[in-house]
């Protein structure tokens, strides 16, 4: 499906309604580095490029729009069970927040797409269950252990210092892009295994069992060896922020470009669309731009939009046409569907609801019922029939742009 978002677009706003406005199956790769539920609130130091950027990472049930929970309870039972496995309300609300967004990410990824969820051991064990429920256990590819500090950091007194983050890598289906990364053979391997040198000075080895009769010997040349395919332990110092002062924006939780460079190279090709829905100081956008990928970034903080322009200009030194938006995009993949209040929608919904208001449950004549968006248009809800219901005018007024659960809880109170 063609994307309805111009390449190199940065959105400022909550990523949920924005993703709801993105066409289905239009994204090749998603990297997300959401708040980790760390119980901390982050702010960039005053005076740094990122000053003014801050985000909250403490969670209570008040943060959860009940419409999200309603959606999960009614449509996604496995996901619902996983969420209810959380032991505290804070964890539960964080998981609901994440699950609703991950469902949208699954919808907008192509069936050949991949997703990397960056988290840390605070919630990685719960998030893996959520990812299994959303993307399917069979599509789990790796748990990447990323060493986040270049040197030794001794921050914990009565436990071991946590030196890693966790990146959960899933594909949408069985067929997906994977360009392996190799690192050169070690000096030691070269010396011990590639110890022969031919008349042209090329090093080679003679693998065991490869001496054939009549003295023919099989040679494996070092310069034809791709190197060692890297595994899931990403411990190289070059992948950390240490010694990367030229890159630092001061944005709290900034990730190194080299880390994103690796992920993007492995799981996408030139011209593919890469999305980062929690893009912070736009590291993914900058790395994707360098690699000639199309990118879309979203962040709730307006600082991200400023930084992406600054960073890309500084990086490439060229004028780049970057689109900065604050509106909610409109999907173009739903075909020509009628407007929400079209007569055929009313008639169909009246039949499905057997004439009852979906709020108070009172019976009404059709002319006394109004068509309501279950998820409001301002939150990215569409005119699709699955997002519509009939409410009496009283219930419709009470609900406004809020979720269905709000209406129900208000009616229960009255
Ligand atoms: C851990 S930081 C991302 C850092 C980023 N990877 C980088 O290298 O700069 C998380 C980001 O998510 C953003 N955020 C939090 N909730 C959001 C939401 N609902 N929609 C969009 N962005 C959100 C925060 O403003 C913050 O910038």
Nearest 5°: phi and psi at 392?
Answer: -70, 165
What is the residue-level pLDDT of the chain in tens, covering all 414 positions?
Answer: 789 999 999 999 999 999 999 999 999 999 999 987 766 665 555 555 565 666 666 666 666 666 677 778 878 989 999 999 998 888 888 999 999 999 999 999 999 999 999 999 999 999 999 999 999 999 999 999 999 987 777 767 788 889 999 999 999 999 999 999 999 899 998 999 899 999 999 999 988 765 566 667 788 899 998 899 999 999 999 999 988 888 898 888 899 999 999 999 999 999 999 999 999 999 999 999 999 999 999 999 998 888 988 898 888 766 678 999 999 999 999 888 889 999 999 999 999 999 999 999 999 999 999 999 988 888 778 888 888 999 999 999 999 988 887 888 888 877
| CA 34 to ligand 1: nearest atom | 10
Task: State the CATH number of the domain containing residue 358.
Answer: 1.10.30.50
Residue 3 covered by a domain:
no
Q: Confirm if 372 and 341 have CB atoms less than 8 A apart.
A: no
pLDDT for res 284: 97
Q: Confirm if 33 and 278 have CB atoms less than 8 A apart.
A: yes
35 Cβ inside 6 Å of ligand 1: yes
Q: Is 149 in the same domain as 204? A: no
Mutate to test the pocket of ligand 1, among 300, 326, 379 (most ligand atoms within 8 A of CB): 300
Q: Is 137 in the same domain as 257? A: yes
Distance CA 33, CA 83 (A): 20
The Å distance, Cα 201 to ligand 1 centre, comes to 53
Q: Is 205 in the same domain as 93? A: no
End-to-end CA distance of the chain: 46
pLDDT for res 335: 83
Ligand 1, atom 4: closest residue by C-alpha: 280
Q: Is 192 in the same domain as 222? A: yes
pLDDT for res 38: 66
Nearest 5°: phi and psi at 350?
Answer: -60, -40
The Å distance, Cα 270 to ligand 1 centre, comes to 25
Considering 167, 196, 228, which residue would you say is the last residue of a domain? 228
Residue entry with tokens 């983050």: 165
Q: Is 172 in the same domain as 205? A: no
DSSP bridge pairs for 32? 117
CB atoms within 10 A of CB 299: 26
Distance CA 282, CA 299 (A): 9
Q: Confirm if 274 and 31 have CB atoms less than 8 A apart.
A: yes
Q: Is 209 in the same domain as 274? A: no
Q: Is 314 in the same domain as 202? A: no
Distance CA 168, CA 260 (A): 14
Q: Is 140 in the same domain as 257? A: yes
pLDDT for res 61: 64
Q: Looking at 243-402, which runs of residues are DSSP E strands? A: 273-276, 294-299, 323-325, 369-373, 388-392
Residue 336 covered by a domain:
no
The Å distance, Cα 319 to ligand 1 centre, comes to 26
94 Cβ inside 6 Å of ligand 1: no
Residue 335 covered by a domain:
no
CB atoms within 10 A of CB 326: 11
pLDDT for res 54: 63
pLDDT for res 403: 81
Q: Is 321 in the same domain as 390? A: no
Per the structure, the complete domain to which residue 169 belongs is given by 9-177+230-325
Give the 3-state secondary structure of residue 151.
coil
Q: Confirm if 196 and 203 have CB atoms less than 8 A apart.
A: yes
100 Cβ inside 6 Å of ligand 1: no
Residue 393 covered by a domain:
yes
The Å distance, Cα 121 to ligand 1 centre, comes to 18
Structure tokens that stand for 138 in this block: 């069979």
Nearest residue to 117 via CA among 1, 32, 41: 32
* Helix/strand number for the chain, H first, E second: 12, 18
Structure tokens that stand for 404 in this block: 């269905």
Q: How many domains does the chain have?
A: 3
DSSP bridge pairs for 296? 9, 275
DSSP 23: P
Q: Is 168 in the same domain as 200? A: no
Ligand 1, atom 24: closest residue by C-alpha: 55
Structure tokens that stand for 40 in this block: 């901390």
pLDDT for res 364: 94
pLDDT for res 246: 85
Mutate to test the pocket of ligand 1, among 22, 31, 53, 55 (most ligand atoms within 8 A of CB): 55
Q: Is 246 in the same domain as 271? A: yes
The Å distance, Cα 193 to ligand 1 centre, comes to 47
Task: State the CATH number of the domain containing residue 257.
Answer: 3.40.50.150
Residue 337 covered by a domain:
no
- Which is it for the CA torsion 118, 15, 261, 255, positive or negative? negative
Distance CA 411, CA 320 (A): 52
Considering 325, 354, 371, which residue would you say is the last residue of a domain? 325
Q: Is 43 in the same domain as 171? A: yes
């Amino acid at each position: 499906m063609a994307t309805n978002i111009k390449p190199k677009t940065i959105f400022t706003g909550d990523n949920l309604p924005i993703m709801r406005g993105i066409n289905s199956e239009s994204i090749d790769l998603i990297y997300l580095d959401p708040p980790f539920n760390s119980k901390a609130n982050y702010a960039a130091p005053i005076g740094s490029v990122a000053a003014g950027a801050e985000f909250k990472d403490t969670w209570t049930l008040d943060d959860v729009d009940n419409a999200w929970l309603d959606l999960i309870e009614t449509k996604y039972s496995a996901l619902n069970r996983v969420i209810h496995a959380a032991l505290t309300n804070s964890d539960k609300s964080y998981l609901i927040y994440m699950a609703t967004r991950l469902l949208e990410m699954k919808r907008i990824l192509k069936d050949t797409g991949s997703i990397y969820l960056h988290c840390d051991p605070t919630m990685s064990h719960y998030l893996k269950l959520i990812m299994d429920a959303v993307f399917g256990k069979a599509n789990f590819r790796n748990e990447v252990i990323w060493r986040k500090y270049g040197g030794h950091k001794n921050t914990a007194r009565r436990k071991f210092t946590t030196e890693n983050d966790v990146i959960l890598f899933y594909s949408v289906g069985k067929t997906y892009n994977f360009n392996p990364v190799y690192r050169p053979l070690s000096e030691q391997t070269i010396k011990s295994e590639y110890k022969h040198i031919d008349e042209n000075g090329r090093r080679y080895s003679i693998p065991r069992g490869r001496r054939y009769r009549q003295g023919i010997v099989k040679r494996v040349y070092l310069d034809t060896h791709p190197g060692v395919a890297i595994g899931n332990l990403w411990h190289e110092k070059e992948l950390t922020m240490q010694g990367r002062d030229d890159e630092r924006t001061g944005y709290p939780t900034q990730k190194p470009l080299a880390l994103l460079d690796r992920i993007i190279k492995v799981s996408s090709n030139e011209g593919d669309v890469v999305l980062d829905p929690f893009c912070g100081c736009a590291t993914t956008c900058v790395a994707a731009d360098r690699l000639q990928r199309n990118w879309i970034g979203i962040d709730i903080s307006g600082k991200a939009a400023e930084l992406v322009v600054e960073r890309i200009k500084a990086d490439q030194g060229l004028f780049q046409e970057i689109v900065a938006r604050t509106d909610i995009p409109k999907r173009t993949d739903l075909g020509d569907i009628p407007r929400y209040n079209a007569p055929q929608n009313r008639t169909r919904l009246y039949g499905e609801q057997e004439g009852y208001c979906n709020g108070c449950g009172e019976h009404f004549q059709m002319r006394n019922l109004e068509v309501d968006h279950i998820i409001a248009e301002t939150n990215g809800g569409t005119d699709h029939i699955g997002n519509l219901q009939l409410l009496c005018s009283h219930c419709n007024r009470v609900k406004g742009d809020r979720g269905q659960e709000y209406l129900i809880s208000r009616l229960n109170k009255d």
